[in-house]
Structure 1
């Protein structure tokens, strides 16, 4: 009776608080069957357990009984190999993953172990599983940690990272379960797409993607293009322009829109720039697409991108900061012009520029897999996006132990100064009795500013941000220690496990009596998921804990998404806002931000879908050229005289020469097509001024251009086929000036942080009218 009542309460709670999630009841029934197998499986020797798992390989695809058996074997293997016996909720998580869901499991509930059991289950069905992580560190940690579990089940496992050599990558991909970051898998896919020999490819056909921190990968990083570039002698940014825009004054020479997303020259600004550049006309045909564009990019870099907020400078290089993680975004950069402008602004060496050989978004990368699932602590908040873009449903797994964390009502202040004074006071009060405190800040600059204020108040703290990320593990390990104050960016907001009492759990009971870890957020994020991730650092596995968020009416979230808000009507002497209307408006600002991001994601995908479709069509044709004799047959048909001249050569030599010629030109035309699509998309919103639908116009022109790609490639291949020397050693392409880039590199392009919609178009037109 108690069990039935408990389940009824859980269903009621799920219905009330977790809308859009899948029904847990079928998995509870499977759990009962898994538990019923525990005693029998527990009597197996290690050898017998491995043999039982191996026997399941012959039963794929799994039926209900097989699914129960593999999870039951996985639970027993985890107990023996790792000393971790999965709780019922972890078994439920594994079952949900095997049924292609995104499972939501609270912080500290053991998602890693659930994911490993599910990955082994996929492998035993003959499906190669890629466990997709958000970074290399987690990929290596989890692969090595779960290795003994896989070994006991007779499943091979491997991992790869940014530093992995080609042979190490190949070995990792040959394993049945491969742990890797999403970017590394994407980069390997891009390299394979430009391979000129089947033997050079290393990534197997996609089968299963099991995504850790699923909301971050599926949503936050979904629009980020992964890029493979080839070296070119691109123009460097002009340091003189960087110095010039530094002298321009806001509201006189340039204006910034209300959302701080776009900056544009005024009439006076245009005249000042023209005088400084020797009396040129910025809007003449000669300069409008070159000089004016460079000035605008330099202005964007100077005004809208902030050091220690959007990027840091370390070791003479500009490093972007991932705003959802607070970490350095390794290998990530803005498009070449903006990247170079920021580097000129900071007077550091300009990084290599080059042509984009191919690219793929994270969303398109994951959609390659026939079967996708994932796990995270915050999935329900993005259930709509998971359903819309990936056809995935969320399965909410209850906590093993009820969360007893006390989440206080948010505190809102009129000004930024009043908010930070209140934060210091709150920290001092909690620190007075030795309670450990984790302070989550929004960026590097804020973390350092707050640490200075704490020092002035006589409060010693440890700072964790993108500048000292190498110390992350040691800092987090002791963040739950007695009297510890840790000030961190969003680095500590996801994927970290903070134990009460530190890594040795010293004074654990003492700290628990004080209320456990106290999480203080210095501002609301643009997504409620990030707030929830930060809160989730406290209250792990039934531990006591508390959280509170501070906001001000001068915070960027408020000013950007509720710019027309009138002053608060009820403000106390210390600046705290108490009227309910204003407090509700802060929540509203966050919902508006989430809606904007959803619409950006949706709109971006509308454009990306066509590009990805064209890419797949081209890859199909490329595969035919790579694996068959199509290239020789086509070139021989087009140029029979040349084919006759080469008739005495060995067939394989002729086929390979034609193949390399055709692949080179097809790849080059695709590169040119990507450049065309980029330029087209950047200006397509202008079509709205002529009452045309920008998306329809983009599709119309993109399709027309794509239809020429293959034919143009064959025409250029004909010319090369005729002029290049082809002998017993093959085609001497380099001697004929036909060669691929000497060097290639990979990086991620940070989405342009500035809007480029119709509103900015009108602003630009108004600006030109003012000038004229």
Structure 2
């Protein structure tokens, strides 16, 4: 009766609070059977345990009795290898992932181990698995950490990272389970698509993607396509233009839109620039200066040091804002990158062109089966279903969460907010209670640290400038007397244990109330707020959280501008604290609007890239045929039979076939690069057609499809011309001598595909702003 009542309560709670979660009752019923086997399995030797797992190997999903057997063996393997006995809730997570769901497990509940056991189970059933994480550090750490478990279960494991060799990559991808970041796996795929020799390819066909921090990877990372660019020459940049723009005054010489994504010169600004450049006409038809001014202005007005990028080792390095880390090998499109480098007076980097790209959504769609885990999936359950056809399974915590989450503290100004924040830290620190301060960007984290130092308080700062030390910093954030100031905590992947990494002062800290989390503002997503909160209160420990906000916060100004002091029903206190409940509701509203904007960016990215992804599949199928067959050699023999025979007689069949393949692939890749550039140009201007009452996406398709249909015929035609002119040797085709040069290095572009950033949208914004102004004047 009690069990039945529990199930009814569970279903009622899911109906009321978690409409996106799937039913797990079937798997809960298996947990007692798994426990019943625990003592018998414990008597097995290591060799016997591995043999028992081997008997479960098959090319199909687990039946219920096999699932019970596997989970009992997996639990024992974890106990022996890591001295950690998986909780029932962890095994429930394992079964949820094996069933193809995204499981939501709270911070500190052991997702890493659950993911490893699920990945091993999939491998046992004949599947090659990629465990996809948000960064290289976690991929490397988790593969090494879980390796003893995999070995006991008889499953091979590897990892790929940015700095590993091609030999290492090839071996890792051959493993039954391979760990890697979403970007590294995506770029390996793109690099393989550019290979001209089958021996240069490293990836293999994989059946399953098991995604750690699934919401971050599938939603946050999905807004920015993975774009592979190739080097050309050192980028041209105009240091003089940077100096001119640096002297312009905001509001007088230039303005920017409320979204902070566009800036433009005023008439006064245009006059000032023309004068500074020697009296030229900025708007003359043959002038290239206007584009240079616009790029320099964007770099000056919209991109902030220590927010959008940092300068380290005399280089501009981008910050991945959703991760709070350096975006390695990532940069803006060339003109903007060069403008920022000129602004910061650092060395110029190479220019280049887009060679290929893939969205996270298209990357994940390559896997026949997808599952995953995260601490905050329910909030994006609709998106996971819409974009990936994934359902969320909510796993209750092993111990109830007793964390105390305070209401928002809203202040009139940024200054009042930070003053109150510092006072709160000082007062709490006097008790010895550990504090984790979550900031929105690098600049804020360093500003808070400086203010604390002025009050003789020492803190540890974790941001994009020192992300290499993050594991040690995070591990000690729960120590007695500790103050940790950090940018984005999502995906840090290290538990904060009360009393420090060894929990030496656990009880002492618990008596003080546990870890106290303070947010300096709200992130653009409630999920990121929840992930920060979730750092406190792990495994039933006490903890607390509070978020400070101000009416000058960028998010509130941008998405809830209607909130003004004169609209408050209750005047603020002397310290600037606002108690008016209506105003606090607008803070929540602003965050929801921000979430809506980000969702539309995701939808828009997919809407316009879906056609390109389909075209890419067609081109890559043809490319693979050229790469792995003698199709190119046959084309050579057909269209230049005399030269083909002559070269075969001189060098042999294999070098000539290799040369034919290199020539045809070069022209196919060249045409594909040109097509991507053409599609990008159409994408940038197609919204202007909305003003003519045409549907932009239809016009985009109408323009791009005919051009695509000519890629293969034109590539083959150009290759035929090259057969007669390119020098061939025993090593293949001498492409560079013929001016057919491939890029020598690659990197990634930071691309924002914002549907609200089009010319048409900007025009409409200005019209709306003008209407607002007229109404206000009336």
| TM band (smaller chain) | over 0.9
For residues 13-33 of structure 1, the C-alpha deviation after alignment (integer angstroms, 9 at most, x for no partner) is 222222211112122123344
SS state at 2:311 partner: strand
List aligned pairs for 1:228-267, cutoff 5 A.
Answer: 228-233=228-233, 235-267=235-267
Q: Compute the displacement of 1:640 (Å).
A: 4.6
**After superposition, what is the alpha-carbon deviation per residue over 1:505-547, rounded to whole angstroms, capped at 9, x for unaligned?**
2322121111111111111111001100000010010000000
What does 1:85-100 align with in structure 2 at a 5 Å threshold? 85-100=85-100
CA distance in 1, matches of 2:463, 2:478: 17
Q: Which residue of 1 aligns with 2:748?
A: 747
Partner of 2:51: 51
Contact kept, 8 Å, 2:232 with 2:353, in 1: the verdict is yes
CA RMSD, aligned part only?
Answer: 2.1
Rounded Cα–Cα distance in structure 2 between residues aligned with 1:580 and 1:139 = 44
Q: Report the TM-score, using the length of structure 2 for normalisation.
A: 0.94
Q: Distance in 2 between matches of 1:103 and 1:143?
A: 20
2:324 is equivalent to residue 321 of structure 1: no
Aligned to 2:683: 681
CA contact (8 A) 1:226 1:746 kept: no
1:510 aligns with 508
1:292 aligns with 290
Deviation at 1:417, TM superposition (A): 1.1
Match of 2:336 in 1: 338
- 1:98-177 to 2 correspondence within 5 Å? 98-177=98-177
Q: Is the 8 A contact 2:686 2:696 kept in 1?
A: yes
- Mean Cα displacement is larger for which, 731-740 or 584-593? 731-740
State how far apart, in whole Å, the 1-side matches of 2:768 and 2:645 are.
64
Q: Measure, in 2, the Cα distance between the counterparts of 1:26 and 1:553.
A: 49
Sort the Cα spacing of 1:600 and 1:165 in 2 relative to 1 into closer, same or farther, 3 A: same
CA contact (8 A) 2:601 2:753 kept: no
Is contact 2:235–2:349 with CA below 8 Å preserved after alignment?
Answer: no
Change beyond 3 A, Cα 1:81–1:504: closer
Aligned match for 2:368, one of 370, 387, 411:
370
Q: Distance in 1 between matches of 2:94 and 2:305?
A: 43
The equivalent position to 1:707 in structure 2, one of 706, 709, 712, is 709
Q: Which has the higher mean CA deviation after the structures are superposed, 628-637 or 517-526?
A: 628-637
CA contact (8 A) 1:130 1:210 kept: yes
Match of 2:664 among 653, 658, 662: 662
Shift of 1:765: 11
> What's the counterpart of residue 476 of structure 1?
474
- 1:607 counterpart = 2:608: yes
Q: Say if 2:19 is the partner of 1:19.
A: yes
Q: CA deviation at 1:476?
A: 1.9
Q: CA deviation at 1:674?
A: 1.3
Match of 1:434 among 432, 442, 447: 432
Q: 1 CA distance for matches of 2:465 and 2:653?
A: 58
When structure 1 is superposed on structure 2, of 600-609 and 748-757 the one drifting more is 748-757
Q: Which moved more, 1:101-110 or 1:55-64?
A: 55-64
2:622 counterpart residue number: 621
- 1:186 to partner: Cα distance: 1.4
Q: CA deviation at 1:88?
A: 0.3
**Deviations, residues 401-444 of structure 1 (Å, cap 9, x unaligned):** 00000001111111111111111121122222211111111111
CA separation of 1:107 and 1:736: change in aligned 2, threshold 3 A: same
Q: Measure, in 2, the Cα distance between the counterparts of 1:226 and 1:675.
A: 15
1:551-700 alignment, distance < 5 Å: 551-567=549-565, 568-570=568-570, 571-640=572-641, 642-643=643-644, 645=646, 648=649, 650-700=652-702
Deviation of 1:2 (Å): 3.8
**Consecutive unaligned residues in structure 1, runs of 5 or more:** 768-772
Q: Partner of 1:185 in structure 2?
A: 185
Equivalent residue of 1:679, what SS? Answer: helix
Residue by residue, what CA displacement relative to the aligned partner does 1:210-269 show, whole Å, maximum 9, x if unpaired?
111111111111132323332212542211111111111122211111222211111222
| Displacement of 1:152 | 0.7
Query: Secondary structure of 1:398's match?
Result: coil
Q: Which moved more, 1:156-165 or 1:269-278?
A: 269-278
- The answer to whether the aligner puts 1:457 opposite 2:458 as a matched pair is no
Tell me the CA shift for residue 641 of structure 1.
5.1
Confirm whether residue 486 of structure 1 aligns to residue 487 of structure 2.
no
Match in the other structure for 1:725: 727
Alignment partners' CA distance in 2, 1:319 and 1:731? 37
Tell me the TM-score normalised to structure 1 length: 0.95
Q: How far, CA to CA, are the matches of 1:703 and 1:475 in structure 2?
A: 52
Distance 2:64 2:2 in 1: 28
Q: Per the alignment, in what secondary structure is the counterpart of residue 692 of structure 1?
A: coil
- Structure 1 residue 737, shift from structure 2 partner: 2.7
Say if 2:282 is the partner of 1:304: no
Relative distance call for 1:312 and 1:654 in structure 2 (3 A) is closer
How many corresponding residue pairs? Answer: 764
> Residue 770 of structure 1 corresponds to which residue in structure 2?
none
1:268 to 2:268 alignment: yes
* Aligned match of 2:773: none
CA distance in 2, matches of 1:59, 1:694: 46
Partners of 2:461 and 2:200 lie apart in 1 by: 45
SS at match of 1:57: coil
The answer (yes or no) to whether the contact 2:333–2:749 under 8 Å persists in 1 is no
Distance 1:476 1:410 in 2: 25
**Cα distance in 1 for residues equivalent to 2:472 and 2:72:** 36
Structure 2 contact 671–715 (Cα < 8 Å) conserved? yes
2:774 matched residue in structure 1? none
Q: Is the 8 A contact 2:229 2:749 kept in 1?
A: no
Distance in 2 between residues matched to 1:425 and 1:155, nearest whole Å: 53
SS in 2 for 1:662: helix
Q: 1:42 is matched with which residue?
A: 42
Give how far 1:271 is off.
Answer: 2.1
Contact 1:493 1:534 in 2 (8 A): no
Separation of aligned partners in 2, 1:689 and 1:638: 49
* Partner Cα distance (2:134, 2:491) in 1: 14
Give the C-alpha shift of residue 762 in structure 1: 5.3
Q: Does 1:412 align with 2:410?
A: yes
Q: Does 1:211 align with 2:211?
A: yes
In 1, Cα distance between equivalents of 2:55 and 2:8: 38
